[in-house]
Structure 1
Amino acid sequence: MDFNKRALVGLAIALSIGAAPVVAAPAKAPEAKRWVGSWASAQMIPAAKDALPAADVTDGTLRQSLRLSTGGGRIRVRLSNAFGTEPLKLAGVHVALAAAPGSARIDPASDRALTFSDRPEVTVPPGAEYLSDPIDFPATPLANMAITIRFDGAPPAQQTSHPGSRTTSWFGAGDQLAAAGLTGGKSLDRWFVISGVDVQRPTGASLVTFGDSITDGYGVTTNGNNRWPDILAARLQADPRTKGVGVLNAGIGGNRLLLDGLGPNAMARFDRDVINQAGVKYVIVLEGVNDLGVLTREQPASPEAHAALVARMTASYDQMIRRARERGIRIYGATVMPFGGSAYYHPDAANEQDRQAVNAWIRTPGRFDAVIDFDKLMADPANPNKLSPAYDSGDGLHPSLAGYKAMADAVPLDLFAR
């Protein structure tokens, strides 16, 4: 090869090595989104008086409404047969925007049919919960949503429900899944079968308010959405830092830390109602007043029994703290509020001593990630063992509507803006 040819070959090799390849710019990755709980209710076995009348819904339709907290462009619905002893068979489930809280009417243009593994019908095994397939849905913050269910046959003999809905549900005969207004005229202020609604959004997390009747909303206005978690949800949505935080109410009236009462004890349900919620990042624990009150409701207890109760209660809190932290969940302890004026529990000085001991444990640094001191907020300054008259519903145990608002307003939003 002569010099000219060698030079040309060398030049070609140099150009092939040194030239930068021309490639297309990478496509922008789609925005990652996550599932965040926007609404939930804690499940239990209803008393006979609170059960859905089987004869009225066998092959019939049930319409229930709820209020979301945070919003998103897609949703999925969780159905529960957690306490059923036989399969729960549903012929169909629809979602829509409700005309109003507790209304039997929907906006027909928003009606969507849910599917489960691409099928309209679903059979939920005993003891199980099922998630629907995700669907596009206009889930705006604080929207009123209706879930309409058609039963395939009779509901399970042992039902799964949330009796403390403080929201009206409607039921009637036949297939009314897509009806603009459910007819039949029968209603109950209970929730059945439904246990959660998740929304899909680019950022956000869920907060579980975990407690008893004070969290469940005893004494609030039916269809008013004025429980303290409802008011807190509205505050979170009004602050740009916390608009992505969903609030899940896991309160059960009469609930206790250590023993079953109205519903399973708090320790037994902590995993299902807190740990397993979509996007959970925070939990507020307000439990214990019923444990303290029940001890002596029927008869006095020995000093040893009082001491043992406090030890078991604080051990229960410690278990929750450990479980939450293992999952990266920030757990906030709420102090037990005064109940010295309760005619139901008629507590004495020993009960008050127990409450003070429990609250001292909750306030001790290094236990909960933060303390929400509802005790100091709600106590009567002149009689700290009793609720303030400004916040007492009249029974000495449950807050009034003003009391619930004060509780919600006292929760620092900075706890959820990290």
Structure 2
Amino acid sequence: MLKQLFAGLALLFSTQVACAYSQIWVGTWAASQQIPEPQNALPSADLMDATLRQTVHVSVGGATIRVHLSNAFGTRSLHLNSVHIARPIISGSSEIDSASDRTLLFSASTDLIIPPGAEYVSDPIAYPLAALSDLTISMHIEAEPGQQTCHPGSRQTTFYAHGDLTSAASLVSAKKIDHWYILSGVDVLALPGAYSIVALGDSITDGHAATADGNDRWTDVLAQRLQGNAATRAAGVLNQGIGGNHLLTDGLGPNALARFDRDVLAQTSVRYLIVLEGINDLGALARNEKATQQDHDELVLRIIGAYQQIVVRAHTHGIKVYGATIMPDSGSAYYHPNTASEHDREQVNTWIREPGNFDAVIDFDRVMADPARPLQLLPAYDSGDHLHPGPPGYEVMGQAIPFSLFK
């Protein structure tokens, strides 16, 4: 009888282990990290003995999760005394469902110190997380780590206040800001075959002119569609856009090639990459009234070379790369593109569309352009600055990506 009992326990244990190993981690949310510009950084005093409460909108769901925290640009160690997760009562509020509050552990400890330049991943925690739901992460920070690590374009309200309030039901007297700090990713444990899709881009991917706390970027639309399709419900969508980002030069955030390892290759179970970058490289030259034709020709070649580098590096890791054409920006008061810069854009888009350069093409240019004036965004899709789409435009972009790209 005793032998049978032990045999049964051994079988149960081996079955549980096999089940655990048959599952894989997949990214359900992520944000690119950068050094915040002075106007986007929090005053050092506000990060002394402070609680940050931040909310994210996930894509794919799961019953077990883990959270990534980043001190990528810190010049000193980042000491966090406690990190909690909870379900928010409503998007844009600091109020959480207290019954859902849980403490995250890091190497079985509630206290962690993240070295400069490093990222830490929490221990797994059983925490059912529905697809397309919100998750609130609260963390208590001892002090600013010299240099802040941030994602300025959150379009999501962050709350911060002094003291350890990580488990508080609401941060009544907290200050508010629409940036994410330290928070870089959320993973869920999923069934075999799950994967993530990374969107590498600039402000159009980051969601400039999207609704605050509204989750209506084109990547959000794509995630919602994927969840509505039985064949793609295991797909996570990771938005790695940075407003003002360039392919070739550091502007707002590191250039796309410099951040490629962290924002693409290091992401969890990434299988597909969508690249929508280049408008800021073209636009920066358009603002240079002394640019020669040689300058324009060299820029086009360098942009194409950057795309080739992205494809080569992604393919080395088994990642398929989909090139998105650069959308029209005629009339942009920021870049005021001229005939030469429009020709540059057309040359780049021609290369993107040529078979064999990318694994597939997502032709946002043709989808978003005004048929009557193809050098401009269709007015219904334009946020008003003739450069960025508004929510209706992001909806069209997200709807334009075929399910057949993700198998």
Which interval holds the TM-score relative to the shorter structure? over 0.9
Which residue matches 2:23? 33
Q: Give the one of 64, 89, 109 matched to 1:99.
A: 89
Secondary structure of residue in 2 paired with 1:404: helix
Give the match's secondary structure for 1:267.
Answer: coil
The answer to whether the 8 A contact 1:85-1:127 is kept is yes
Please say if 1:45 is aligned against 2:42: no
Q: Distance in 1 between matches of 2:389 and 2:346?
A: 19
Q: Deviations over 1:372-396 (max 9, x none)?
A: 0000111111221111112111111
User: Which secondary structure state, in structure 2, belongs to the residue aligned with residue 208 of structure 1?
Assistant: strand
Instruction: Identify the residue that residue 167 of structure 2 maps to in structure 1.
Output: 178
Match of 1:412 in 2: 402
Gap runs ≥5 in structure 2: 1-6
* Structure 1 segment 394-413 matched on structure 2, within 5 A: 394-413=384-403
Q: Residue 290 of structure 1 corresponds to which residue in structure 2? A: 280
Residue 183 of structure 2 corresponds to 194
- What's the CA shift for 1:183? 2.9
Alignment deviations for residues 109-153 of structure 1 (CA, whole Å, 9 cap, x no partner): 11111111111111111111111111111111011100000012x
Partner of 2:124: 134
Shift of 1:185: 2.8
- The answer as to 2:219 corresponding to 1:229 is yes
Identity %: 54
Deviation (angstroms), 1:156: 1.7
Residue equivalent to 1:244: 234
SS of the residue 1:268 aligns to: coil
Conserved? CA contact 1:341–1:387, under 8 Å? no
Give how far 1:52 is off.
Answer: 2.0
Aligned ranges for residues 141-220 of structure 1 at < 5 Å?
141-152=131-142, 154-203=143-192, 204-220=194-210
8 A contact 1:66–1:101 mirrored in 2: no
Q: Which consecutive unaligned segments of at least 5 residues does structure 1 have?
A: 1-22
Deviation of the 1:270 alpha carbon:
0.9
Tell me how far 1:259 sits from its aligned partner: 0.2
Q: 1:291 is matched by which residue type in structure 2?
A: D
State the aligned residue count: 394
Q: Which of 307, 330, 342 does residue 332 from structure 2 map onto?
A: 342
**Superposed CA offset, 1:269-297 (max 9, x none):** 01110111001001100000000010121
- C-alpha distance in 2, partners of 1:76/1:53? 29
Return the letter of the residue paired with 2:85: V
Runs of 4+ deviating beyond 3 Å = 23-29
TM alignment of 1:326-341, pairs within 5 A: 326-341=316-331
| Distance in structure 2 (CA, Å) of the matches to 1:185 and 1:160 | 21
Which SS does the other structure have where 2:148 is aligned? coil
**What is the aligned counterpart of 2:363 among 373, 376, 379?**
373
Provide the residue aligned with 1:316 in structure 2: 306
What letter matches 1:138 in structure 2? P
Counterpart position of 1:18: none
Comparing 181-190 with 246-255, greater Cα deviation is found at 181-190
Once the two structures are superposed, residues 334-359 of structure 1 have per-residue CA deviations (whole angstroms, 9 ceiling, x without a partner) of 00000111111111111011001100
Deviations 1:26-67 (A, max 9, x none): 765426000000000000001121112322231121100011
Write out aligned runs for 1:246-261 (5 A).
Answer: 246-261=236-251
Q: What corresponds to 1:16 in structure 2? A: none
**1:267 and 2:257 correspond:** yes
Q: State how far apart, in whole Å, the 2-side matches of 1:414 and 1:109 are.
A: 41
DSSP-derived class of the 1:30 partner: helix
Give matches, 1:50-69, under 5 Å: 50-69=40-59
Aligned partners of 1:67 and 1:101 also within 8 Å: no
1:66·1:102 contact (CA, 8 Å) conserved in 2? no
User: Taking structure 2 as the reference length, what is the TM-score of the superposition?
Assistant: 0.94
Match of 1:74 among 64, 68, 71: 64
Following superposition, the deviation at residue 300 of structure 1 comes to: 3.3
Distance across 1 between alignment mates of 2:309 and 2:92: 37
Deviates more, 1:290-299 or 1:188-197: 290-299
Moved more, 89-98 or 380-389: 380-389
What root-mean-square deviation, in Å, do the aligned CA atoms of Structure 1 and Structure 2 show? 1.5
Partner of 1:13: none
> Is the contact made by 1:114 and 1:133 (CA closer than 8 Å) also made in structure 2?
yes
| Deviates most, 27-36 or 139-148 | 27-36
Paired amino acid for 2:222: L
